[in-house]
Amino acid sequence: MLVVGVLAGLTVGGGVGVIAGASTKTVTVCANNKTNMLRYAKSGTCLSSETKVVVNQTGAKGAKGAKGAKGDKGAAGADATVAITQQSVCDGTDAGTVADELCKIGMTGPGGGLIFFVDYNDQYPVFDYLEAAPVECESSTSWSSVNSAVLAARGWAAQAVGQGQANTTAILAVFGSDTTSNNAAKYADALASGVPASCVTSKDDWFLGSLGEMMLMYTNLRQAGVGGFSTDFYWSSSEYDDLFAWYQYFYYGGQGTGNESVTAYVRPVRAF
């Protein structure tokens, strides 16, 4: 027997297990007003001598819990920086410049030529500047008078800015033992003060620029009307195949390939 204290019209909440298996739904029972005996009211209706009791109802929503403690402060992020490269000093002999001024495009570089590229964004880890040789150090020659494959100087990567020195080294490795061939890369590599006779430079680390480097030379110097360039073809160190190499056209900026035995201009490059 289950005995409960009931007030007239009282609705009781909770989980009292009166009817087996009915703990997950509401159940209506009737409590006798005299004996307090409970009976299950399947129909949900009680007699006038009984009080209706509903059990297993969903209770009222509990109070909101207390707010948790504030978490620890996160570590400070690293400061954002923009890399700017202007660390080498040019000689200040150009009109409008002063001595010990940081190198900029169009200024005279350490080798006596003209700066045509500044790596302001530190894109290239081994150099900050590219310098074109003085106009007096320019020559014209074939890319090579002997046909041979320079595979390391071919392809998209070999045309990129920053690849001229590697291309020149690869060309010299193929043609280095051939002292009789007329070779643009050999000319650039041998460039020094007095070689050729009219050339005056304090540096001897020149090379034949890649196609991308020659394009920058055209864009930043020839298009600015400085450097004494011809409006003809200039060889790059980027090879196309056994017979053809890439050139930069200094008349309107086009690029193409020419037979390696053809004579074109050579304006050596140095990086620092």
pLDDT in tens, 255-271: 999 999 999 999 999 99
The band of 165, judged by pLDDT with boundaries at 50, 70 and 90, is very high
- List the single range of 68-72, 183-187, 243-247 with lowest mean pLDDT: 68-72
pTM exceeding the 0.85 threshold for the entire prediction? no
Token pair for 29: 């029972």
Q: Is the pLDDT of residue 153 over 50?
A: yes
The confidence score (pLDDT) of residue 41 equals 80
Minimum mean pLDDT among 75-84, 117-126, 164-173: which range?
75-84
Q: Is pLDDT at 3 greater than 80 in this prediction?
A: no
Q: What band does 9 get if pLDDT is binned at 50, 70 and 90?
A: very low
Cβ-based neighbour number of residue 30 at 10 Å: 20
Greater confidence (164 vs 33) lies with: 164
Q: Which two tokens stand for residue 130?
A: 């590219």
Report the pLDDT averaged over residues 188-195: 93
Check: CB of residue 23 under 8 Å from CB of residue 64: no
pLDDT of residue 177: 63
Q: What pLDDT does residue 12 have?
A: 45
Q: Please tell me the predicted confidence (pLDDT) of residue 14.
A: 44
Half-sphere exposure of 240 (CA within 13 A, CB side): 14
In degrees rounded to 5, what are phi and psi of residue 98? Answer: -120, 160
Higher-pLDDT residue of 138, 2:
138
Measure the CA–CA gap between 56 and 78, rounded to whole angstroms: 58
Segment 48-74 mean pLDDT: 80
Mean pLDDT of the 218-229 span? 97
> What are 20's two structure tokens?
């087996």
| pLDDT at res. 59 | 64
Q: What is the pLDDT of residues 105-137, one digit of tens each?
A: 999 999 999 999 999 999 999 999 999 999 999
